[in-house]
Amino acid sequence: MATGIASGSGQLYLREPVYRRNSYGKAQCHSTVILSGMQNQIHWSSWISKLLQVDRSNYSQCQVKTNRKFHRGTIKSCQREGSTRYFDFAVIGSGIAGLRYALEVAKHGTVAVITKAEPHESNTNYAQGGVSAVLCPKDSVESHMQDTIVAGAYLCDEETVRVVCTEGPERIKELIAMGASFDHGEDGNLHLAREGGHSHRRIVHAADMTGREIGRALLEAVVKDPNIYVFQHHFAIDLLTTQDGSDIICHGIDTINTETQEVIRFISKVTLLASGGAGHIYPSTTNPPVATGDGMAMAHRAQAVISNMEFVQFHPTALADEGLPIRPSNARENAFLITEAVRGDGGILYNLDMERFMPSYDERAELAPRDVVARSIDDQLKKRGEEYVLLDISHKPTEKILSHFPNIAAECLRYGLDITQQPIPVVPAAHYMCGGVRAGLEGETNVQGLYVAGEVACTGLHGANRLASNSLAEALVFARRAVQPSIDHMNISKIDHSASSWWPRPVAPLLLGDTVLNKVIRQTREVRKELQSIMWEYVGIVRSTSRLTLAETRIIELELKWERYLFQHGWEPTMVGLEACEMRNLFCCAKLVVSSALSRHESRGLHYTIDFPHVEESKRLPTVIFPSQLNSSWSSRQLHKQQIC
């Protein structure tokens, strides 16, 4: 794994690659981008767009040289040959980014939406607060930009911030035109809420179920579109790529139908990764079970550039089951989120002695950005030896609480807690990955034909900490921005109907038999818990170099131990299964987070380390992990061998 540092706010130039050795004695190639002086000044987003720019003129010539006939133009219907499907566009993920993109590109070709579980099961569905946008005359794009940059600890890319803050309002209007229903005030205008880090009311919402409402509207439109085919319960395994010199080209995706165990190959002219985040590298997360970092890991294995993985956002207020009058009978798969809007509407944080503590940490108190609030709560819990703190909104009128937070009120009432009368027990939980696959201003990556949008992407918007409700806005903006370049790429690309034979095909591990397979699954689940425990204990809200180094060692040892167990029980390198593939993706993302965290010698935003407790202006640089051909383990390799043009 190669880690380089690149500038985030201006002056950049590339050095020649340098070779170093890691602690295990293996050579690694580090492409290092460093901050230059006044010469060669270019903006990060402009520079990254040029770095990632697709040479479309050469693409059509970069095919495996055979006498096969290529299909040009739009595929008029879903074409299948055995277990291979052919589409113009393949979309991995059915959240807000994937569905919004699919609806646009479907006007120009056939679209496969590949989703891991049910189509509605995504991080979008669990987003409570809303979408940030400048829709009030008293507000301004400049103010939204400033709030975003301050929350992001000045690591945000200014051009990206301007793009999202400027284009966001139009994207919301498009959602409303498609049938999304948001809350309105008595004056008939949209009701705009305020959340931590925002200087104005600018959060468009549907009570405390905004993501669910957006997902409903988008899915209804997708179902009606004859050019969109939704493949549910299809787990994405690996991107299908070829290589021409230094150019990597994406041709689609391998998947496994988790209900039938059939491996399905999708050949496409354009692929969009919109697969969400990696919250389940931690034991407690607000993310649904599908958020296992699959897109980030697949992209990394396919030689895509990864950035800013050390910035893991812990939401300060997830429901603490330990503090409920009636404890849930079963452990939750994901923590229940208590939206930022509760604090935005006047909610106050107390310790268990009902002492308000946030003003002693930050002058913005409960309205401080999430990283500040999460660290403050973490400090309170450690100092006092307690398991949770209390968030109280009961001083507000009952009708206002129930109208603004009906979902939260209902969930708490299930366990004997009336939020109109009692404070809510809360604790931080892993929530959002600010890092991901590095994207340019049109969602492009350094892999030709591969675009990214949503949480899987690192666009530069969030910097070192995401401002509340900016994620849905970013997903909408970049999903739309990726449309035109995707169409352009599709129009000059070719489909080879025998392309399915270019790569070895993964297989389900059915030959192992139920007894062995069940043992492998049980062991994998235990390993998963151990990895999550390591990440929470050593790579949590507060970090140190020694603990990060220990985490790195333990993760590598655990991964190798797990792989040995698999292969000792008959697992083959081409075998794929849901639990095993999720596990290798979790290992990959955990290592990316630790590697990135070790490279940042300052405390900025979500990355706080006791060894470097201050912000260092000279280190105001994104962390960039460049592609490396050194993939020493099964978990780190694409399952198929790349073809060379």
Helix axes 141-151, 158-177, angle to 10 degrees: 120
Is 370 considered catalytic here?
Answer: yes
- Which amino acid belongs to residue 117? A
Q: Which amino acid appears at position 294 of this protein? A: D
End-to-end alpha-carbon separation of the chain, Å? 25
Here the tokens at position 384 are: 């006092």
Tell me the residue type at 374: A
* Pair type for strands 79-81 and 450-452: unpaired
153, 604 Cβ separation under 8 angstroms: yes
Helix (H) or strand (E) holding 301: helix 294-301
CA 215 to CA 454: how far, in whole Å?
14
What is the rounded CA–CA span in Å between residue 114 and residue 273? 10
- Amino acid identity for residue 641 in this structure: K
CA dist 185 and 456 (Å) reads 34
Listed in sequence order, the residues at least 6 apart from 238 whose beta carbon sits closer than 8 Å to its beta carbon are: 253, 254, 298, 301, 302, 506, 638, 639, 640
Q: How far apart are CA 178 and CA 160, in angstroms?
A: 26
Q: Answer whether 114's CB lies under 8 Å from 234's CB.
A: yes
Rounded CA-CA distance 256/511 in Å is 16
Length of the chain: 645
The answer for 350, left when phi > 0, alpha when psi is -120 to 50, beta otherwise, is beta
| Dist CA 583 CA 561 (whole Å) | 13
Distance, in Å, from the CA atom of 505 to the CA atom of 507, rounded to the nearest integer, reads 6
Look at strands 79-81 and 192-193 and give their pairing. unpaired
* Residue reference for tokens 């944080």: 349
Which residues fall within 8 angstroms of residue 484, CB to CB, at 6 or more apart?
442
Closest CA to 490 of 231, 107, 225, 232: 107
Which amino acid is it at 542?
A: V
- Residue in the block written with tokens 């945000």: 156
Q: Which two tokens stand for residue 167?
A: 């284009």
Q: Which of 265, 370, 481, 547 is catalytic?
A: 370
State the amino acid at position 320 in one-letter form: A
Q: What are phi and psi of 226, to 5 degrees?
A: -70, -15
Element (H, E) at 175: helix 158-177
| Residue 216 three-state SS | helix
Relative to beta strand 447-448, strand 247-257 is: parallel
CB–CB of 240/250 below 8 Å?
yes
Contacts of 564 (CB under 8 A, 6+ apart): none
Active site residues: 370
